[in-house]
Amino acid sequence: MMSAVGGRPSSTSKDGLDEEVFGNAVDPKVIRRLLPYVFPQTRLVIVAVIAMLLFAATQVSVPWLIKLGIDRYIANGDRGGLIMVAALFFGSAVINWVSLYVQDITITKAGQGVLLALRRDMFAHMQKQSMRFFDKTEVGRIMSRVQGDVYQLQEFLGTIVMTVGDFLSLGGIVVVMLLLDVQLGLLALVVLPLLAIAMAVWQPFARRTFVEARATISIVNASLNENITGVRVVQAMNRQDENLRQFDVKNRSNLNAFLGAGRLSAGVLPIVDFLPAAAIGLVLYFGSSMVSGGAIEIGLLIAFIMYIQRFFDPIRNLTMQYTQLQRAMASGTRIFETLDVEPDMVDAPDAEVLPPIRGEVELRNVSFAYKQGEDVIQNLSLRIEPGQTAAIVGPTGAGKTTLVSLIARFYDVEHGRGEVLVDGHDVRDVVRASLASQMSMVLQEPFLFSGTVRENIKYNHVDVSEEKMIEAAKAVGAHTFITKLEDGYDTYLEERGENLSVGQRQLISFARAIVADPKILILDEATANIDSHTEAQIQLALRSLLKDRTAIVIAHRLSTIRGADKIVVLSQGELVEEGTHDELLDRDGLYSHLYHMNYAVLEEIGVA
């Protein structure tokens, strides 16, 4: 959906990153994709598996040791044998504790290694995506991938090791019970079909509920991010109460979804807890008769009761782990689907590095649409000579920002719909980094990063000398206020530079742009948020700074436009006029109309 003619598309949830996915407990595709991240942690995983095997063995051994002590040594009054069993019992407890500790430590470390690699790859992949991807993808959903889903998948490694350990414990317990007494062993297992039926009934409800829970938390994240990012507009429009009401609806939906998931999880646990009680009751009833008849010894019956308790502990764990594995597989599916999103704007395989440029810019019959069939630039041809300053003007939605975005190659023109050339090179045929390194842009809304003033000015040019950095700051009138800051160029800027005024942030953005010594400088409403005095300083500085540079300026202020070598007038994505200020006024066209409606008024009141 387009916001307006010539506008960029608004964010939508139809971005391929939806939450309505709930995986199988084990998804082979996800496992295969995850293995390259696990392989570097192989040593840790092996240590964890060994520790898990030792832990499972100690779990199985304890009831057997108790049976041995009661039937062989207590019954016979063998004090020496009891001491030996006590020592074995103590040794088993120590091994149990140490193995569990080692398992937890190694799995946590391995999981964090996987987490580190996944987040790095996700971040790198996001950096490669084009502007079109971010136009249609909500930031909250991206954050859910990079944070929530990656963390969920990181837990998979620990869950799978524990799951394997629980299965081994189950297998060991079943084998030992059948070896001790086949009849009692089969009697203890008779309740398992009831558990299978309960799980089969529970699972479909759990799947739907957990799907809803994941979907609603994503919606909450997206809403929270949107309202925090747009807090100035929210407060300016006094929308706090209405936004809170809307957020409360989404938040309550999330609460209800998670409460439903909690009720389902809580509902299945009593069933799992009831079944061992039933099994113990059966074994006690029939086992006591067998003890009375001399068929088995009392120690064996006690061991059986303990094995039944230990048998259902792994089942209880597996019930919860099954849900965790499903969530992990769902998260894995979403993560790898995101990693599989190919950037729609990549350098051609035979792309060449753009040599040092003179700054000639040409558009030949360019048409462009954010959404198929809705052109915002229509058959536009334009030529800007090296060192020339071109002002782009036109009503809202005319396609001004889209035009400079195409020149900067934030978007690619489809083949067959025109060409964007820099020094005669089609920008689609050159390495974009080599184009970007010779071009800078200053936007209307200055964006500064958390860090020092120095780090922001040198943002992508850390090797620039101190002298050149200061020279750039002086050129745009930023040096004076920077030196008055508490720590000068080492002053730490808060998020988005909120501890500076809007004008100061914009001056630093200007310094950041020119410190790279670009041949092409794009100013997109760059002086809109600067007072007239500061703008006059910048205009004066730009006269020398723009010498031998090509400047493309989107502006509404007359002072910026009138001094341009060429004024390009757009309307509904088409170039309707082109010429100098005086030439266009004489033609009495759209520019003259805009001038008399807006610019002349501004000039009269001294704003222009």
**Given this model, what pLDDT does residue 6 score?**
40
3-state helix, strand, coil split of the chain in percent (to 5) is 65, 10, 25
Asked if pLDDT for residue 438 goes beyond 80, the answer is: yes
Asked if pLDDT for residue 190 goes beyond 90, the answer is: no
Q: 340-381, pLDDT tens digit by residue? A: 888 777 888 888 888 988 889 999 999 998 888 888 899 999
Separation of alpha carbons 428 and 435, rounded Å: 10
DSSP code of residue 375: E
**Given this model, what pLDDT does residue 557 score?**
65
Mean pLDDT is highest, among 324-333, 518-527, 540-549, for 518-527
Percent of the chain with pLDDT over 70: 89
Per-residue b or e along 228-264, where b marks 16 or more CB atoms closer than 10 Å to that residue's CB: eeeeeebeeeeeeeebeeeeeebbebbeebbebbeeb
**Given this model, what pLDDT does residue 151 score?**
73
pLDDT, mean of residues 554-569: 79
Asked if pLDDT for residue 9 goes beyond 60, the answer is: no
pLDDT, mean of residues 77-89: 85
Q: Are 157 and 107 in contact (CB under 8 A)?
A: yes
Provide φ and ψ at 355, rounded to 5°: -70, 170
Distances (CA, A) of 138 to 17, 134, 143: 9, 7, 9
**Given this model, what pLDDT does residue 599 score?**
57
pLDDT, mean of residues 556-567: 77
Separation of alpha carbons 37 and 25, rounded Å: 19
Percent of the chain with pLDDT over 90: 8
Question: Please, which residues have CB within 8 angstroms of residue 423's CB and are 6 or more apart in sequence?
Answer: 354, 357, 358, 359, 360
**Given this model, what pLDDT does residue 8 score?**
40
**Given this model, what pLDDT does residue 26 score?**
63
Asked if pLDDT for residue 325 goes beyond 80, the answer is: no
Residue 513 tokens read as 């742009």
Q: 455-501, pLDDT tens digit by residue? A: 888 887 888 888 888 988 888 888 888 888 888 888 888 777 778 88
Residue type, 315: I
Per the model's pLDDT, the better-predicted residue between 232 and 580 turns out to be 580
Q: Are 114 and 41 in contact (CB under 8 A)?
A: yes
Q: How many residues does the chain have?
A: 608
Query: What would the 3-class secondary structure string for 191-252 be?
Result: HHHHHHHHHHHHHHHHHHHHHHHHHHHHHHHHHHHHHHHCHHHHHHCCCHHHHHHHHHHHHH
Asked if pLDDT for residue 102 goes beyond 90, the answer is: yes
Residue type, 286: F
Q: Are 282 and 188 in contact (CB under 8 A)?
A: yes
Q: 440-452, pLDDT tens digit by residue? A: 888 877 788 888 8
DSSP code of residue 2: B
Domains recognised in the chain with CATH numbers: 28-339 (1.20.1560.10), 347-438+519-608 (3.40.50.300), 447-517 (3.40.50.300)
Residue 316 tokens read as 């209880």
pLDDT, mean of residues 276-280: 82
**Given this model, what pLDDT does residue 15 score?**
46
Asked if pLDDT for residue 305 goes beyond 80, the answer is: yes
Residue 514, Cβ density class (10 Å: 0-12 exposed, 13-18 middle, ≥19 buried) = buried
**Given this model, what pLDDT does residue 19 score?**
46
Per-residue b or e along 431-446, where b marks 16 or more CB atoms closer than 10 Å to that residue's CB: ebebbbbbbbbbbbeb
Q: Tokens 């086949």: give the residue.
A: 182
Give me the chain's average pLDDT, please.
80
Q: Tokens 């988005």: give the residue.
A: 496
Nearest to 565 by CA among 361, 367, 397, 395: 361
pLDDT, mean of residues 227-243: 79
Mean pLDDT is highest, among 116-130, 199-213, 254-268, 361-375, for 361-375
Separation of alpha carbons 510 and 113, rounded Å: 40
**Given this model, what pLDDT does residue 2 score?**
35
**Given this model, what pLDDT does residue 600 score?**
53
Q: 496-517, pLDDT tens digit by residue? A: 777 888 778 888 888 888 888 8
